Amino acid sequence: MFNDFVAPSLYPAAPEIFLLTMACVILLLDLGVKSPRRTLTFVLTQLTLLGCAAITVLTSNVDVVFTFSNMFVDDMMADFLKLTVYLTVVLVLFYSREYIQERQSIPKGEYYVLALLSTLGMMVMISANHFLTLYLGLEMMSLALYAMVALNRSSAVSTEAAMKYFILGALASGMLLYGMSMIYGATGSLEITAVAERLYTHSADSSVLVFGIVFLVAGLAFKLGVVPFHMWVPDVYHGAPTSVTLFIGSAPKLAAFAIVMRLLVNGLITQAADWQSMLIVLSVLSMAIGNLVAIVQTNIKRMLAYSAISHMGFMLLGIVTGVVGGDARFALNAYSSSMFYVVTYVLTTLAAFGLIMLLSKAGFESDELEDFKGLNKRSPWFAAMMMFVMFSMAGIPFFVGFFAKFSVLQAVVAAGYYWLAVAAVLFSLIGAFYYLRVVKLMYFDAPQNNDPIKGSFSLKLLISVNGLAVATFGLFPQMLMSLCAYALLRSL
């Protein structure tokens, strides 16, 4: 029996192993750090992420590689999304450093370690080829995020948001597990590629399978934060410290896109007719409710929360239009448009919350729309950066958000869903109102105070580079689009 055991190759999982090891080392070293600034912990955390990026590049392979009895996959999509996650988390931690330094109630060392452990969960999710591996990564990411939301122990709002997130997250995990168990009952396998093979050969119980897909899509919808499983998004975005809101609103979206691709496209593509109809409903509802409710918000974090709901609904349009009536001719274009959309959304979200944290100071959260009044008079440069971000999210040419929306709409029209394209454009026009309202406040209203904007040179430089990247990728989107298409071409 033991003679048949073959030791798995650790090479494809080298970045995950390195990150786990360093997270444990940083956790232990942090116990001996006396400085309240936790500079050593911060530097080691950033070096760890850069080390993961280097290992991912060095171990990258154009072929799809499986290990751990086909439970873990390393392909170009995984490598590209992991590199994007590393870059995102590096920027999040840079943006967050001064914010958490000014707030004594937020433990610094724990923040960095939890961020690393959550990143590890995302990496496992991105490379999962088995229901158990996927669930392991999902829970690792989610449990770290629950703790991060509650890090500000002196804030009752943060504690309440963490409890809501935890309870609703447990409910969603239960639905996802129930769906996975029913798919296992229908196909007799937990391995995603094996499930796809058995569905292709019609050796599965179709009645049980449909119920499994319903619960699976419901669990995925919660993780994406789309209607009607969006209840946690505004409360968590609003209640969490802004640095944690930035983390939740950026990198996990990349991991959520990965599990949608792994489960629905890699595993259940033969059942596309079943899950596409559900995704269309989720998408339209998310764009409608997300954009309409965002209009009445006075808190910019809540506004961006409802904005995130509408953007995730828009991203789902590309997933929906990959296969139409069994025809997969437009699959690569549709899925790569969704991938491009989620990457550019994360880029703009980083800049938006980075600017909110730049305007915040000790004892004052700059998270109300009124706090942006007259920003142009206080700092014309950062008002311009915020304008770039708002224009991009609204889909105004020629910013990267415009090309992201355009590429998705192109895929929707190519698939023949004209009514869906019209609905998406109408809801985007409605959404443009609340983005342009922020621009109006910055440029046409009198400032509530004329205090200079404080912040280190490095923080201001990074936010400036981030804001300019939103404009630059809008002028030259082809390189990023080609990267997304190439990654998926080598992985599907």
Q: Where in the chain are the domains? A: 8-489
Question: Could you tell me which of 392, 395, 400 has the C-alpha nearest to residue 481?
Answer: 400
Contact 445, 373 (CB under 8 A): yes
Contact 145, 165 (CB under 8 A): yes
121 half-sphere exposure, CB direction, 13 A CA radius:
21
Phi, psi for 117 (deg, rounded to 5): -65, -40
Helices (H), 31-75: 39-58
438-491 tens-digit pLDDT: 999 999 988 877 777 877 888 899 999 999 999 999 999 999 999 999 999 888
Spatial separation of the C-alpha atoms in residues 136 and 256, rounded to whole Å: 14
SS3 417: coil
Spatial separation of the C-alpha atoms in residues 82 and 86, rounded to whole Å: 6
48-87 tens-digit pLDDT: 999 999 999 999 888 888 888 889 999 999 999 999 999 9
401, two tokens: 């958000």
10 Å Cβ neighbour count for 7? 5
Single pTM value for the model: 0.94
Q: What is the pLDDT of residue 164?
A: 92
Q: What is the pLDDT of residue 1?
A: 46
End-to-end Cα, the chain, rounded Å: 35
134-158 tens-digit pLDDT: 999 999 999 999 999 999 888 889 9
Q: Which H/E stretch holds residue 248?
A: helix 242-248
Spatial separation of the C-alpha atoms in residues 120 and 136, rounded to whole Å: 10
